[in-house]
């Protein structure tokens, strides 16, 4: 793949990431933000109950955080992750099987969603405000990043294992063995990595559950939207539609 094609795919990946970010922003605003407000309300009630009556000055208002701040963060994240995913796509295209550019984009997005977010989420799910000890934020962040890095590396290793076994076992059985190996090692990691459970006993279970579902819905929307948008853009770039006979005739007519 030449540098011009890589550059074009990179630009299309960033545009697709921006479009997917808009979709994820809608999900985050309508599903996630109301639950964040409820969690903040619970935190304030707990602070008053324990004698914390002093009101801290907000550097950024909550209304700004939930609108412009949220939009800026989500859209910048979408553009950045779209560019990174496009570069990964350039490497994966033609190496993961005989898939069309559109199918490769969807396959890459689905696998990335699983490895980058879903697997770490199952071990260390997202928490709203008022959940988590501020003194352990460094430890919790380290464990999450470790789980994500391990999941990505194991996903790559499983892909390589499947390709190595395919000539001997066939594509279907090689894929089954690779997925089983990935699940087995991830299960071992789940068993040995520390458990983090800092949810207050009186925190509303419904709010916690719905917040985690909204966080998952946002990521699914982001990755699925990117896969569909980028797949279409990549397909048009790499497999341009041949000109029809009518278009050829009109081009041949002198102006």
Listing DSSP states for 203-244 in one string gives: S-HHHHHHHHHHHHHHHHHHHHHHHHHHHHHHHHHHSPPPPP
Claim to verify: residue 146 and residue 210 sit in the same structural domain: no
Residue 249 lies in a domain: no
Smallest CA-to-CA distance from 211 within 21, 43, 38, 74 is with 38
Residue 80 has pLDDT above 60, yes or no: yes
Q: Please tell me the predicted confidence (pLDDT) of residue 243.
A: 55
Claim to verify: residue 10 and residue 85 sit in the same structural domain: yes
Rounded to whole angstroms, the Cα distance separating 27 from 37 reads 15
Claim to verify: residue 206 and residue 161 sit in the same structural domain: no
Claim to verify: residue 32 and residue 47 sit in the same structural domain: yes
Domain holding 192, by residue range, is 132-198
Residue 109 lies in a domain: yes
Claim to verify: residue 6 and residue 74 sit in the same structural domain: yes
Helix pair 70-92, 205-238: axis angle to 10 deg: 50
> What's the average model confidence in pLDDT over 221-233?
95
Claim to verify: residue 162 and residue 66 sit in the same structural domain: no
Rounded to whole angstroms, the Cα distance separating 65 from 2 reads 42
Across all residues in the chain, what is the average pLDDT?
A: 87
Claim to verify: residue 221 and residue 180 sit in the same structural domain: no
Residue 253 lies in a domain: no
Q: Please tell me the predicted confidence (pLDDT) of residue 94.
A: 79
CB atoms within 10 A of CB 19: 20
What's 94's DSSP letter?
T
Domain count, the chain: 2
- pLDDT (tens digit per residue) in 167-218: 899 989 999 999 999 999 999 999 999 988 888 888 888 999 999 999 999 9
Rounded to whole angstroms, the Cα distance separating 18 from 72 reads 11
């Amino acid at each position: 793949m030449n540098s011009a094609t890589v550059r074009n795919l990179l630009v299309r990946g960033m545009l697709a990431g921006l479009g997917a970010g808009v979709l994820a922003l809608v999900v985050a605003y309508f599903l996630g933000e109301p639950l964040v407000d409820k969690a903040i309300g619970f935190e304030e009630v707990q602070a008053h109950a324990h004698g914390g009556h002093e009101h801290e000055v907000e550097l950024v208002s909550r209304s700004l955080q939930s609108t412009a701040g949220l939009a800026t963060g989500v859209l910048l994240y979408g553009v950045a992750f779209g560019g990174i995913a496009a570069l990964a796509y350039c490497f994966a295209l033609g190496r993961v099987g005989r898939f069309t550019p559109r199918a490769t984009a969807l396959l890459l997005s689905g696998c990335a969603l699983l490895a980058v977010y879903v697997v770490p989420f199952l071990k260390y799910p997202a928490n709203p405000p008022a959940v988590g000890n501020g003194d352990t934020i460094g430890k919790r962040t380290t464990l999450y990043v470790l789980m994500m890095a391990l999941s990505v590396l194991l996903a790559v290793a499983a892909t390589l294992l499947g390709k190595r076994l395919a000539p001997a076992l066939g594509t279907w059985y090689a894929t089954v063995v690779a997925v089983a190996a990935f699940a087995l090692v991830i299960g071992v990691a789940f068993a040995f990595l520390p458990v983090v459970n800092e949810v207050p006993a009186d925190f509303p279970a419904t709010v916690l559950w719905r917040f985690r579902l909204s966080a998952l819905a946002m990521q699914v929307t982001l990755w699925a939207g990117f896969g569909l948008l980028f797949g279409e853009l990549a397909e048009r770039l790499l497999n341009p539609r041949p000109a029809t006979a009518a278009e050829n005739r009109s081009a041949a007519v002198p102006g």
